Amino acid sequence: MSRRFRDRTDAGRALGVRLAAYAHRPDVSVLALPRGGVPVAFEIAKALQAPLDVFLVRKLGVPGREELAMGAIATGGVRVLNQEIVRGFHIPDHLIERVSREEELELNRRERAYRGDRPPLEVAGRAAIVVDDGLATGSSMRAATVALRKLEPARIVVAVPVAAPEICSELQTEVDEMVCARTPDPFYAVGLWYEEFDQTTDDEVRDLLERASKEISAVPTH
């Protein structure tokens, strides 16, 4: 059985080692999916000496079973739906639209709250390393990578501490590089692969982004 990570910091340090080829390069940006991906990405950014930013994605939960993702939305107005879930639960269009509107409000709130007046990082022509604390369905990460393509990065790298094996395999065909530190089978849930898996707060996200902007070398922004 694979060793569990102590916490998100431990997971980020492990990924930083695996991503060493991107260290000290002027063309690398690290993008975290809030909130749980931020502590992981902070450690990666430190290890690589690369700038850190958030990339906002919101899961679209099935009404009445919100823990189950029927898709996700991301910055830039991108929406990705899991058609298998939509068809399987007979979810009508009006419910999809309602959930999407609600999550878009929260996405916009978080973007203002996390970044403040700092402009988003420049990713065009750069290697973008997209980080989360784990992948179960892959909907949020898939939405993030689709949205990110519109910003024309030179390379999209997805890096996660733990992922369901089939999701890791599927995403490998959709991005330039996929780094999954653990792919346990059976998978069950992301949180099972951490000894500590407390919810990351908005304050922690803001603090880590502020620290990154001060502690890691300045690089180009929009």
Structure confidence by residue, pLDDT tens digits, 36-67: 999 999 999 999 999 999 999 888 999 999 88
User: Looking at the DSSP assignment, which residues form a beta bridge with residue 159?
Assistant: 131, 179
Looking at residue 151, its pLDDT comes to 87
Q: What are the chain's domains?
A: 8-215 (3.40.50.2020)
Return the percentage of the chain with pLDDT > 90, whole number: 74
Is the sign of the CA dihedral 71, 114, 122, 14 positive or negative? negative
Residue with tokens 């690589």: 48
| Residues with Cβ within 8 Å of residue 122, at least 6 apart in sequence | 29, 219, 220, 221, 222
What's the CA gap between 146 and 52, in Å, rounded? 19
